[in-house]
Amino acid sequence: MLSYDGTEYAGWQAQAGPPTIQALLTRQVRRLCGDDARVTGASRTDAGVHALRQTVSVVTSSDLAPAAVQGALNAALPRDIRVVAAADAPAGFHARFGARGKRYLYLIDNARVPSPLVRRFAWHVPSPLDVARMRRGLAALRGRHDFSAFRAAAGRHANPVCRIAALHVVRRRDRIAIAISADRYLHHMVRTIVGSAVDVGRQAREPEWIADALASRERGRAGPTAPPQGLVLLRVLY
């Protein structure tokens, strides 16, 4: 189980160029367990997105104990990446394909003056936000729908149908959290949902507009994509 601050990384997936979580983790795992080790994450988080509990499967011929692997990796990895738990997995376990769903949380700093303490982990929106309106608008997204209007680019996923099992908006003083549980997600889906909810909350749109955007299946009918720093992968469900 991995936890990380994604601010300095170009996302999870290994790629040429800037550092990624998967590339750094794979390098250290192979130094410890051998060059045959394979590292797979449950969620391909984007650049700047964080994880509280990202599930990672490691396939290796090494017989090192999980506790030893955890300790060695935490000694070698940067301080913004931590292995928070390690255990032997059942034969055939796959972090990504075995997942039944994922829970994400998006944090909004709704104070007039942004807090320096959460600037790496929240989107600062100084405009007053009506949480009741946001809840009414987002209610239309619960259940199984075609979420084409809330994905980054057509064709990124062959199947645009996802099931949102839970969607909550919670305010605590100047902080607003939007929590979403779904069986699967399209690229930028959560961030586009959040951007749409903020448009409704600041009264630039009516709550019913979100349902209309969903029905249209057109990306241009939904709201803007919220910035990445407010998004955290909370946990993966198996």
Q: How far apart are CA 23 and CA 28, in angstroms?
A: 9
Q: Which two tokens stand for residue 234?
A: 């909370």
- The answer to whether 46 is a known catalytic residue is yes
C-beta separation of 55 from 41 below 8 A: yes
DSSP classification of residue 227: P
C-beta separation of 42 from 94 below 8 A: no
Closest CA to 115 of 229, 232, 195, 228: 229
C-alpha dihedral sign at 21, 24, 27, 31: negative
Q: Which long-range contacts (CB under 8 A, 24 or more apart) does 169-173 make?
A: 169/131, 169/134, 169/135, 169/138, 169/197, 171/110, 171/131
Set 5, 46, 109, 199: catalytic member? 46
| Buried/exposed code over 146-161 (b: 16+ C-beta within 10 A; e: otherwise) | ebbbbbeeeeebeebe
DSSP classification of residue 221: G
Mind telling me the catalytic residues? 46
